[in-house]
Structure 1
Amino acid sequence: GALRKELESGRKPPYEFECTLVRSDINNFTQIFSSDKREAFMEVINDFFIGVTHLVSRYGGSIHEFVGDEVLFYFKDDDHESSSAVAIAALRDINKLAMKMSERTESEGGYAFRIKSSLSHGTLRFGPLVDGFALAGSPLIESVRMLSHVHEKSENTVLFDESLTDSVSGLCRSKRQSVVMLKGLQGARTLVSLEAFTPLSLHLRQGDEKGLKFAKYYRDDQDICEILDFVTSFQGKIDSKDLNRLISMFRSYTVAKSSAAIKRSFIKCLEQTLQVATYNEEQTHLLSSLISAASHILTEKEWFGEIRALMFGCLTHPNRRVVANTLDVFGQFEPAAGERIFNELAKQGDNRIVANLLVKEAKKEWNKKVARKVKAMLGGQSPYAKASGLYALGEISRFLKRTD
């Protein structure tokens, strides 16, 4: 959970951070819980909260807590270009999940499953409290007060302060609801209600950098498939640099549970990219990015079989970056096999592969031996060796900053 993440962040509490906090509440909980449908209802809630956990993780957020019929989660400003935009994107997928749950409850129990949510941007403090640690701050209070102004319970609803409108305008359409005083907080607030989410297809149809940059805010299985299918269809029709940027966005994804649909779309995209890359060298950048994406949008379940066979063929590709990225993916899904292949190729002295090998060694243990090897690459005569050494040093530094 969030408290464990904060404790393992390397920062010494107490400390503060800016974030967008979301509070989602299940409508009519007390009424349904008090009926004879209680046990079935609790199973639905459990499945819903499991799904919410996966989605929040996929968008790089943290679950703060589950309290009865509520779930609280947040997205840090330090981790995202716009924490409010990411929060809205996650809520879009959570609302989709709620509608799936509703299909189930209407069929099995005769009642609708709806949620109401509020967003609040501000400062949270993480620090000691009684015998443990806790989060505190105005977003926790503000989000509660906002939900008290939700009166429509037959639909999934989202409320937020008008000050967030510009941050989320590319992802949704909203309207002013009311000017209110929130109990315990100073000053009047203009509350805005979300009317509709912007579909991914609208951004993709623009086909330019401005439109494609919004793709990073679409991370459910259907959206990932749509992005992969778009890249498959538009190779040669759209600048390969734009397609490469689109695929590179997957590096910020964390997919704990993938799907057969994503696997099928990935295979089609990889086959098409391999075919085009044989006669268009510019496509090798797209190919290397797509290979790296595998470790972010697929799991071990999807790896074996056709994807593994296609990736194995990439180990003999003439482009060093393609080979290096393929080795990284093998290392994730098949550590033992990846290690053997890595060591064999490293004997050939390829700078990029040697650099990746040093990164792997450093992640196991940063010691004088690894440091000397990195220093030797940086001090070499070859500019390619120096560039690879700088790459290794950067990757090692990022890893140690995140984990040590």
Structure 2
Amino acid sequence: MFGKNRRSKSLILLIVGVFWLGYVVSSSIQFYFNVRSLTEKEILRRQTQMQFIQESFIPLVITENFNLLKDRLENARKIHLIDFYILQNGSDVVTWYNNFDNLSGINVDYQVFNQLLQNDQLAFRTVKLMDYRFTTGVFQDRNEILKQNIWLMKGMILQELIIVTLMVGLIVYLFLKDIIDLTKILSTRDRSKLASVKSLSKEGQTLLKATQSYESTKQYLEHENRYYSDSLTPAILHEMKSGKKAPYAFQSTMIRVDLNGYTQIFLEKKDEYVTDIMNAYFIQARELIERYNGLIYQYVGDEIVFHIKEGPQNSQAMALACLRSVFKAAQEIEDSLPVGADHCFKVKGSFVLGKIRFVNQDSGFALSGLPLIESARLLSQVDDKASSSATFYAEASESLQELCTIADTKETLLKGFSKPSTLYRAKEFTSVEKALATDITLLTYFRSDEDLCHAYSFLTEELETGKDSTFFTAFNILKTFKLKMSTEAQADGFTQFLADILKLNKEQKANDKVLSAAISLASNFVPAYLVKENLLEQLGTCLEHKDHRVQANAIIVLGDLAKDIAFLRRFVYSKNNRVSADALLVSGKRDLDKELTEKLKEYLDSKNPLFQASGRFVVKSLGEHYRNADPIFYETNSMLKDLLRKIA
């Protein structure tokens, strides 16, 4: 019908169909109202018939003539006077029927008698006769009845509209279908179907090409952004994203960590050997550095240069703690070396607190400042390569005395400096067991997987002895941690920690507040790739807990860790607004559909200020989520836009 070279039609041609469309709409509206009126009458008729049948069969119940009652109920059902029934004697069922052959669906404890109860799907009535409860009901799916009435009355309007409908349908199919399909695709999160859209109109082709071009450009830019972000070190990327204009300065501790004997290893071993062992080291070191809020500035051969900004925690103490964990990781690598490796794997580190400047140079952005030079000078003073050590100025020792033991001191004149400096070197560090027993706040400086496992065991023992205050002090520290990578042992350790708290909670040794707090940590300490079924089962158990905080936190965590969260939908209808709001938020981030949208509108229109506030919080959070995760969905999805307008 349409040749390959047939010219695309202009949208102006569609104006011809406006008149016909108006005619079809007005006729259809009138037809709909007529059918709806008949539908309501039909529903009322079925309800009246159902009640009449029930009243007629009451004498059979009173006389306990159950065989005849069963026969007559079945006859009434076959001619659609009723759809389901049940006769109960206390907790026993005398006779019953429903279309789904599901007794549990209707065998409930009916408490409302002689009143018609109904919803959009069904209506039923229960009468109480001595110890008997006699219930009959009918289905009244308005949509289904509406369809049946439309089918019965189709001849009245079909003849009148068939020509107009064919004309308009043909025009819509030829010239609007592509635009409609394009709009639907753009308002969803799945854009893979764009390639399947074909356009016959000039305007449709223009929109389609522009959209496809935008999508390809967006994907290219996302790829480029990831590529360049990966090319930039975290320290530079962090400052670029801060929104501040270079140059500017900030207080920070600059740290250097270097592998002893790297040159020897590089010269004596094969490239593949060196690459594999250094990659393993760099991966572990980077994860640990990030755990201690470190920002890597440079990789120089085997040396890692990073800094930790001064903040609520002492940055020099954080630097020492980070180096301690890196030393442990290096020792584990050394312990795993093959027999005959003929080399050690010891590292040395240094750190200096001072002003760091973020500057714009001719080839890009960079960090500058005296701590960069001083940390290098301190590292050059290390001549002991048989053990891992951290070197720092004597002035820092007061804030580090609880974390290490000073091995030796050295008075030296650093190259380029006019005054001598006193350097301290630490080789032995306070164990996590001793630190926790001394002062729980020292947990801030113990973030390795091994440290965390010890912390879980320690906190479990504290809770068993009723020391909730220790747990909450630790919780306020732990909630600031976020593990992107971890070991299976650490993830299993947290899972056992949560299981122990659940057990203590059941035994009333740990209160609900402790349990809800512990649950909220799961997303921080168990990366998604390490989630196991037993953790999900524990969180699933928490969904049925009597405490709403426990339920709400379990919902949030499952939203992060579970692949399929369809089972959380039922909590959208919880009577507790916090539980319901969290279920709405978690489900909405996966898929914002009509059901969730209507529930959120119900919250926003509520007269209860708590429900209004919860609704506003969820809508605002969803808006921020989609604005960052999928800008096109954010701009084109009508349901999301309606919600955002209501809170504007």
Q: For this structure pair, what is the TM-score category when the shorter chain's length is used for normalisation?
A: 0.7 to 0.9
In 2: Cα distance, 1:138 partner to 1:265 partner: 42
1:367 maps to which residue?
A: none
Matched, 1:66 2:292: no
Matched, 1:40 2:273: yes
Q: CA deviation at 1:11?
A: 2.7
- C-alpha distance 266-28 of structure 1, shift in aligned 2 (>3 A): closer
Q: Is the 8 Å Cα contact of residues 355 and 392 (structure 1) preserved in structure 2?
A: yes
In 1: Cα distance, 2:250 partner to 2:530 partner: 37
SS of corresponding position for 1:286: helix
| Counterpart among 364, 382, 389 of residue 132 in structure 1 | 364
2:316 maps to which residue?
A: 84
Letter in 1 for 2:278: I
Q: CA deviation at 1:318?
A: 1.4
| Counterpart among 225, 231, 238 of residue 459 in structure 2 | 231
1:272 maps to which residue?
A: 500
- With normalisation by structure 1, the TM-score equals 0.84
1:214 maps to which residue?
A: 442
Q: CA deviation at 1:335?
A: 6.0
Q: Is the 8 Å Cα contact of residues 118 and 143 (structure 1) preserved in structure 2?
A: yes
Letter in 2 for 1:87: A
| RMSD of equivalent CA atoms | 3.5
Matched, 1:307 2:535: yes
Matched, 1:174 2:377: no
Q: Is the 8 Å Cα contact of residues 255 and 298 (structure 1) preserved in structure 2?
A: yes
2:260 maps to which residue?
A: 27
**Structure 1 unaligned regions, length at least 5:** 365-369
SS of corresponding position for 2:305: strand
CA distances 1:204-261 after superposition (whole Å, capped 9, x unpaired): 334xxxx111112111111111111222233231411211332443222221222332
2:473 maps to which residue?
A: 245
In 1: Cα distance, 2:612 partner to 2:432 partner: 41
Letter in 2 for 1:271: A
Q: Is the 8 Å Cα contact of residues 16 and 123 (structure 1) preserved in structure 2?
A: yes
- C-alpha distance 164-238 of structure 1, shift in aligned 2 (>3 A): farther
- C-alpha distance 192-394 of structure 1, shift in aligned 2 (>3 A): farther
Matched, 1:350 2:583: no
CA distances 1:270-309 after superposition (whole Å, capped 9, x unpaired): 2221122235386212111211111111122332311101
- C-alpha distance 283-10 of structure 1, shift in aligned 2 (>3 A): farther
More deviation, 17-26/227-236:
227-236
In 2: Cα distance, 1:123 partner to 1:324 partner: 44
Letter in 2 for 1:72: V
- C-alpha distance 66-286 of structure 1, shift in aligned 2 (>3 A): same
Q: Which has the higher contact order (CA 8 A, sep 6+)?
A: 1
In 2: Cα distance, 1:333 partner to 1:84 partner: 34
- C-alpha distance 36-88 of structure 1, shift in aligned 2 (>3 A): closer
SS of corresponding position for 1:182: coil
User: Counterparts of 1:312-323 in structure 2 under 5 Å?
Assistant: 312-323=540-551
Q: CA deviation at 1:324?
A: 1.3
- With normalisation by structure 2, the TM-score equals 0.54
In 2: Cα distance, 1:295 partner to 1:258 partner: 12
In 1: Cα distance, 2:585 partner to 2:309 partner: 28
Q: Is the 8 Å Cα contact of residues 253 and 308 (structure 2) preserved in structure 1?
A: yes
Letter in 1 for 2:352: S
In 2: Cα distance, 1:349 partner to 1:386 partner: 14
- C-alpha distance 188-342 of structure 1, shift in aligned 2 (>3 A): farther
Q: CA deviation at 1:362?
A: 10
| Counterpart among 491, 515, 539 of residue 287 in structure 1 | 515
Identical counterparts, % of pairs: 28
Q: Is the 8 Å Cα contact of residues 32 and 38 (structure 1) preserved in structure 2?
A: no
In 2: Cα distance, 1:50 partner to 1:30 partner: 20
In 1: Cα distance, 2:358 partner to 2:615 partner: 38
In 1: Cα distance, 2:304 partner to 2:412 partner: 24
Letter in 2 for 1:352: R
Matched, 1:298 2:529: no
- C-alpha distance 50-353 of structure 1, shift in aligned 2 (>3 A): same
User: Counterparts of 1:190-205 in structure 2 under 5 Å?
Assistant: 190-205=422-437
1:51 maps to which residue?
A: 284
2:5 maps to which residue?
A: none
| Counterpart among 75, 81, 97 of residue 329 in structure 2 | 97
- C-alpha distance 279-28 of structure 1, shift in aligned 2 (>3 A): closer
Matched, 1:187 2:415: no
| Counterpart among 370, 374, 378 of residue 142 in structure 1 | 374
Give the paired residue count.
389
